Amino acid sequence: MLIITVILLLAACWFLGTLLTPVFVAVGFVYMLYLILQSIIAAI
């Protein structure tokens, strides 16, 4: 029973990880674009 629980927990963590990775990448990309835009606006 304990082994099944551990496997389920690992599967859930892996699933969440693969699900959230693109979200983190997208957020980081948008944040970088925002910083670049701010520096361009400040330069003008």
Domain boundaries, the chain: 1-44
Q: How far is CA 8 from CA 11, 14, 16, 18, 35, in A?
A: 5, 10, 12, 15, 40
**H/E stretch holding 17:** helix 2-43
pLDDT tens readout for residues 2-31: 999 999 999 999 999 999 999 999 999 999
- At residue 1, the pLDDT reads 80
Give dist(CA 18, CA 23) in Å, integer: 9
Per-residue pLDDT at 44 exceeds 90: no
Confidence of residue 33 (pLDDT cuts 50, 70, 90): very high
Length of the chain in terms of residues written: 44
